[in-house]
Structure 1
């Protein structure tokens, strides 16, 4: 077994890398990414401002990442972590979301979900919840 590599510290706790290799990629979804970015969904833009350029604990986030036949809102390659911001559209896609989550988890990825409302109204609480999720799943 290889030794764990440190990625960063959060609240003085060491966070270890969890890189998931060889993720499937559907290149036909690439045009959709540009459209999604142009839409500029407010909660995604607000979250992106918090995490881009390694602003969040020196962790590198990708926005609108293709994994298999899905586009995830945000992806942290060094952790194998998907961050999903759930808006109203998810209220009517329960089965789809379950299937998607199962697919991503079967690849060895973890999913952190936050609501559109929390990002817009309680951003600091949402970011603290993300910190706690990372500590819980990627420390020791």
Structure 2
């Protein structure tokens, strides 16, 4: 399946957390920035992207160590292309949407990053797994 078709399928099968965040991002509701959801950014499909701010938002469910390593590599590749990557746990989205939106707003209103993130940025270690999330995973927000 091509990335464009896969992105369409992912939009049609969004998680509850993705649906909730999309309600707040769509139609330039967050500080006037335009977001796209399940957007191909080769070779990946990212959950949400704001092209004008070069910001990608990824939502993570419960995951194991291998997924964490994949996500860190993915964030590093996207960062090398000039994107800032924010990662949130699904349950963060469902538990404290106001804090998540404020974090996104702060990053959007920050001066645009002139190039790839400095070494180590965009793949910081996550904190402990929130209760009821995944196996051997981490938690928190990456930026």
Same fold (TM over 0.5): yes
Q: How many residues align?
A: 113
8 Å CA contact 1:90, 1:97 repeated in 2? no
In structure 1, stretches of 5+ residues that fail to align are 1-26
Deviating above 4 A after TM superposition, structure 1's stretches of 4 or more consecutive aligned residues are none
Tell me which protein shows more helix as a share of its residues. Answer: 1
Match of residue 101 from structure 1: 75
Alpha-carbon distance, 1:35 to partner: 1.6
1:79 aligns with 2:53: yes
In structure 2, stretches of 5+ residues that fail to align are 114-143
Taking structure 2 as the reference length, the TM-score comes to 0.72
Deviation per CA, 1:67-113, whole angstroms, max 9, x where unpaired? 11100000001011101111114664012111111110110111111
Of 18, 42, 56, which aligns to 2:16?
42
Greater length-normalized contact order (CA 8 Å, ≥ 6 residues apart): 1
SS at structure 2 position matched to 1:108: coil
Within 2, Cα distance between the matches of 1:75 and 1:90? 25
- For residues 1-140 of structure 1, the aligned pairs below 5 Å read 28-89=2-63, 92-138=66-112
Within 2, Cα distance between the matches of 1:39 and 1:89? 19
SS at structure 2 position matched to 1:59: coil
SS at structure 1 position matched to 2:56: strand
Alpha-carbon distance, 1:61 to partner: 0.3
Q: Which has the larger radius of gyration?
A: 1
